[in-house]
Amino acid sequence: MLLLTALALTLWFWRRNLRDASLWMVLTYAGVALIAWTDFSAVSVAGGSAFPKILKDFIMLGMVGFVQAMAVKKQISVWMAVVLIFGMFAAVHYLDELINTEDNPASQQITTQLSAIDDSYLVELAEGASEDELLNFVINQQLTAERAFFPDAASETHLDNYYVVSNPTGDINLQRELDRLGTVVYTEPNETISLEPFIEAEELVTASGKRSSLSINDPLTSEQWAMEVLDMDDYYRLLQEQTPKKKAKVVILDTGVDGQHEDLDDNYFSIESQYDDDPHGHGTHCAGVAAGVTNNGLGIGSLAGTNDESPFVEVSSVKVLNAGGMGTQKTIIAGIIEATDEGADVISLSLGGRSNPSSQRAYSAAVEYAHRNGAIVVAAAGNSNRDAIDYAPANAKGMITVAAVDQLLLRAPFSNRTDKIAMAIAAPGVGIYSTVPGNGYKSYSGTSMACPFVAGLLGVMKSLDPSLDYKQAYRIINRTGRESSETRITGRIVQPAAALAAVLR
């Protein structure tokens, strides 16, 4: 389309004094408008921000008008017009590359959501059905297919009946054709999942200058404003009097975790060595909030609490997103299954994306599989200032979904609303100071940061009462949560000490 638009503009320039000149200019503007509409639709429908793409299109439109105006005034030569035209498209191409590079954190959501238009589906076969019909269809249509999930307890779920089918050419209506197969009971898009973190300005990290005295010796707790609003000192004092019944496992599904970080190492266990590094940093930050080593004279304090003789939780990682913070529905669900099969007590998902309302069957099946095996699954509500019911996996059945609040205990401006979510809770998510790879510490904002506050607390609750299931756990954190003026759209704000006291009754 870009090349056709350039050709139309060039033909107009040469024929601008002839009768058909207006036709070529109309075609030029129509081409630019079509490109803009395509960019807007592809990004906005997928749930991303369309502004950078539309900015590119307006630059192109402006350059078309500039060439037209200069030509009419006869102030430039034909060759100068050609140079301007192709220079314009080179600039647009450069902007497009800048927008979509994986090294630009501001572009991750846009890039990821655009890739969601790939023609890939999760396909569930009927229980006991042969895969032959599906595989023959795949071969005949020159598609690609692979088994999606391999749960250890396959008898407890239908997830072992799922395949991923992709159409590299996009020349057929894949979902319609799959639905026609007699052995297929369900199809849904293999949607793209992404991260949306950002680093806060340093002056926003410590909005409250007041700090309550803490009974722990971690030196960077002065950067953790949430310690005060969550009454963490009461929580730590109460924990110091307890003996865990088990060491609960909290598994972070993310970009990996730097397991050798000075403030994580003693609490970290490895599932796979490939998961023990974090080229992005997001997963390590979440791990620190949930289970950074507390009262060790280093770094920050966390929800893991402290007991000199026996820790309450240990934390691990399943890498489900790449270095750019991108993954798919298939990789997330496979991660939930893997964490469950490794004995996770709590699974934390600080990720998500805009979702087709019909695309929750596989997510919900994965959450149910985790529940059947004793795990609680927690997800971030999302950072789009919209309704979390339209975002996955936040809207999966059985999910505990976490919105973000700021230092004033109001919904963070970016946080999705959770009033239509069955099990909603809120936690601090603005200027959250935590671990990053290489023994570093930074402040991030997002529902991604709120989610591990809840995950870490649930891990400690499970360490004191291993029989606690997800329904009981949610009732406790909801009942003991703190009301705010925006509780209706965020859920109550989690209160660790009150929740712990309720578990111990």
CA gap 255, 105 in Å, rounded: 14
CB 350 within 8 A of CB 254: yes
CA gap 181, 125 in Å, rounded: 10
CB 470 within 8 A of CB 368: no
Q: What is the DSSP letter of 352?
A: B
Instruction: Give the position of tokens 């630009």.
Output: 104
Torsion 125-130-135-136 (CA) sign: negative
- Retrieve residue 356's tokens: 């087709």
Which are the contacts of 171, defined by CB distance < 8 A and separation ≥ 6?
Answer: none
- Retrieve residue 390's tokens: 């339209």
CA gap 459, 311 in Å, rounded: 11
Instruction: Give the position of tokens 């991923």.
Output: 164
H helix or E strand, kind and range, residue 30: helix 21-45
- What is the phi/psi pair of residue 43, to 5°? -85, -50
* Closest listed residue to residue 323, CA positions, set 444, 195, 442: 195
Give the CB-side neighbour count of residue 209, counting CA atoms within 13 A: 0
Q: At residue 53, what is the residue type? A: K
CA gap 453, 469 in Å, rounded: 18
H helix or E strand, kind and range, residue 328: strand 326-328
Give every strand in the sheet of 400-405, ordered side by side: 313-319, 248-254, 346-349, 376-380, 400-405, 424-428
* Closest listed residue to residue 189, CA positions, set 129, 113, 108: 113
Q: Taking the CA atoms of the chain, what radius of gyration do you get in angstroms?
A: 26
**What are the beta bridge partners of residue 440?**
436
Which residues are known catalytic residues? Answer: 254, 282, 448
